[in-house]
C-alpha cells in the first residue's frame, strides 16, 4: 500500500489497478455517446512539454516523466477501444522518437494484456489520428492484426495524401472545415461503434474536445517540481474558450513514492456538463 486516497477520503491503496478500478468501460457502457477521457503529466508550473534538447519540436520533460505515472497512463490506455493521437505523433514515429502508446508487449504490462483479453478486447486499441496537414506516413505495425487507424481531418484534404493514407490502410474522415470539430469527430466515433476513447494527444486536441463539450474526464498527474522556461506547452492551447469549462474533482491521490520519494498528486476531474 503506497498511495493515499485523499478524496473521497478512503485511506491507502496500491498503485497497481488504481485507475483500472475506475471502471471506465463500465461507465462508457452506461452512456449514449462515447466516454472520452484525457490524461497529462505536468510540472507544478504547468509544463507538459518543453523543447527537445537536440531536435525541433517539444517533448515531455524527462524530469517529470516517471514510471509510476507511466503505469497509470498504461492502465488508462488499456481501458480504451480507441486512442486519440495527432499528426505530430506519427511524424515523431517516422523520426524514431515515438513508439506504441499501449505497451502490451512489455512484460511489465502483461497483466493489462490479460485484462484486455478478459474484456474481449484485442491487445491493441484502434488508433484515431487528428491532423489538418496529413503530413505523416502510417507505420505498418499500426495497421497489423486488424488494428484500424482512423484519421480525422479538415475540409478538402490533399487528394494525393488522402489516397496515400487510404493505401496505407488508414481510413480518412473529414470532420470539420478549417479545424477538426470535436463534436463531429465523436459523432463519427460513435457511428463506428467506439465506446471508451482515450486522448493521449496534447493541448490543441484537448481544446477541440473541450470546445465542443465532448470530454468526460481529465486525468492529471502533478509532479512536485517547478521547471520555468519557455517556450512550453500547457495542458490547453487555443482560443479563449467562449464558456469556461467547469470541472469537479472525481478523485485525488497522493503518491509519495514517485521520483525517488519526491512525490506527485494524481487528480481526476469530471467535466461539468
Ligand atoms: N505531458 C504530457 O502528459 C503530454 C501529453 C500529450 C502530449 N504531450 C506533448 O505535448 C506536445 C504536443 O503534443 P501534440 O502535438 O500531440 O499536441 P496537440 O497540440 O494536441 O496536437 C497537435 C497536432 O494535432 C493536429 N491538430 C490538433 N488540433 C487540430 C484541429 N483542431 N484540427 C486539425 N488538426 C489538429 C495537428 O496536426 P497536423 O500538424 O498534422 O495538422 C497538430 O500539429 C508534444 O511534445 C507531446 O509530447 C505531453
**Residues 24-81 pLDDT 10s:** 999 999 999 999 999 999 999 999 999 999 999 999 999 999 999 999 999 999 999 9
Å from CA of 203 to ligand 1 middle = 6
Pocket test for ligand 1, best of 86, 133, 164, 236 (most atoms within 8 A of CB): 86
Cα separation, 258 vs 264, in Å, equals: 6
* Annotated domain spans of the chain: 3-271
The pLDDT of residue 211 is 96
Give CA separation, 189 vs 6, 21, 78, 92, 132, in Å: 35, 25, 18, 25, 18
- Count CB atoms within 10 A of the CB of residue 54: 5
133, 150, 147, 266: which is closest to 204 by C-alpha?
Answer: 133
Q: How far is CA 209 from CA 37, 161, 180, 216, 237, in A?
A: 10, 25, 10, 9, 12
Convert 80-117 to b/e letters by CB count within 10 Å (16 or more is b): bbbbbbbbbbbbbbeeeebebbbbbeeeebebbbebbe
How many A from CA of 204 to the centre of ligand 1? 6
Task: Please report the atom of ligand 1 found closest to the CA of residue 61.
Answer: 1
- Assign 145 a pLDDT band (cuts: 50, 70, 90): confident
- Is residue 29 exposed (0-12), middle (13-18) or buried (19+ Cβ within 10 Å)? exposed
Identify whether 205 is preceded by a cis peptide bond (ω within 30 of 0): no
Is 198 in contact with 82 (CB distance < 8 Å)? Answer: yes
**CB neighbours of residue 41 within 10 Å:** 23
**Distance between Cα 224 and ligand 1 center (Å):** 24
Grid cell digits, residue 75: 492502465
Is CATH 3.30.565.10 the right assignment for the domain spanning 3-271?
no
Q: How far is CA 176 from CA 9, 30, 70, 134, 235, in A?
A: 43, 28, 33, 14, 22
**What DSSP designation does 104 have?**
T
User: Cis link prior to 264 (omega < 30° from 0)?
Assistant: no
Residue 170 has pLDDT above 70, yes or no: yes
Task: With 0.85 as the threshold, say if the pTM is over it.
Answer: yes
pLDDT digit string (tens) for 220-267?
999 999 999 999 999 999 999 999 999 999 999 999 999 999 999 999
Q: What per-residue confidence (pLDDT) applies to 1?
A: 62
Tens of pLDDT, residues 87-133: 999 999 999 989 999 999 999 999 999 999 999 999 999 999 999 99
Ranges 1-5, 103-107, 160-164: which has the least confidence:
1-5
User: Ligand 1 pocket: which residues have CB below 6 Å?
Assistant: 40-41, 48-49, 58-60, 86-89, 130-133, 135, 154, 179-180, 201-205, 208, 233
Question: What's the CA gap between 211 and 98, in Å, rounded?
Answer: 28
Amino acid at each position: 500500500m503506497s498511495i493515499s486516497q485523499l478524496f473521497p477520503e478512503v485511506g491507502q491503496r496500491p498503485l497497481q489497478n488504481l485507475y483500472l478500478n475506475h471502471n471506465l468501460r463500465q461507465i462508457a457502457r452506461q452512456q449514449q455517446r462515447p466516454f472520452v477521457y484525457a490524461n497529462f503529466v505536468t510540472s507544478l508550473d504547468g509544463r507538459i512539454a518543453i523543447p527537445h534538447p537536440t531536435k525541433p519540436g517539444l517533448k515531455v520533460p524527462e524530469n517529470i516523466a516517471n514510471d509510476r505515472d507511466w503505469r497509470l497512463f498504461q492502465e488508462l490506455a488499456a481501458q480504451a477501444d480507441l486512442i486519440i493521437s495527432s499528426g505530430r505523433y506519427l511524424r515523431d514515429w517516422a523520426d524514431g522518437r515515438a513508439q506504441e502508446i499501449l505497451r502490451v508487449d512489455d512484460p511489465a504490462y502483461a497483466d493489462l494484456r490479460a485484462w484486455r483479453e478478459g474484456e474481449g478486447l484485442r491487445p491493441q486499441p484502434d488508433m484515431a489520428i487528428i491532423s489538418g496537414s496529413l503530413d505523416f506516413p502510417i507505420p505498418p505495425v499500426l495497421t497489423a492484426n486488424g488494428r484500424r487507424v482512423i484519421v480525422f481531418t479538415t475540409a478538402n484534404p490533399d487528394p494525393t495524401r488522402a489516397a496515400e493514407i487510404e493505401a496505407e490502410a488508414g481510413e480518412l474522415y473529414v470532420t470539420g472545415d478549417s479545424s477538426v470539430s470535436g463534436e463531429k469527430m465523436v459523432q463519427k466515433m460513435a457511428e463506428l461503434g467506439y465506446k471508451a476513447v482515450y486522448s493521449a494527444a496534447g493541448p490543441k486536441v484537448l481544446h477541440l474536445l473541450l470546445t465542443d463539450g465532448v470530454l468526460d474526464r481529465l486525468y492529471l498527474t502533478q509532479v512536485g517540481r517547478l521547471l520555468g522556461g519557455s517556450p512550453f506547452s500547457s495542458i490547453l492551447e487555443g482560443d479563449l474558450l467562449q464558456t469556461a469549462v467547469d470541472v469537479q474533482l472525481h478523485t485525488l491521490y497522493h503518491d509519495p513514492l514517485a521520483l525517488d520519494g519526491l512525490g506527485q498528486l494524481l487528480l481526476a476531474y469530471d467535466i461539468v456538463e
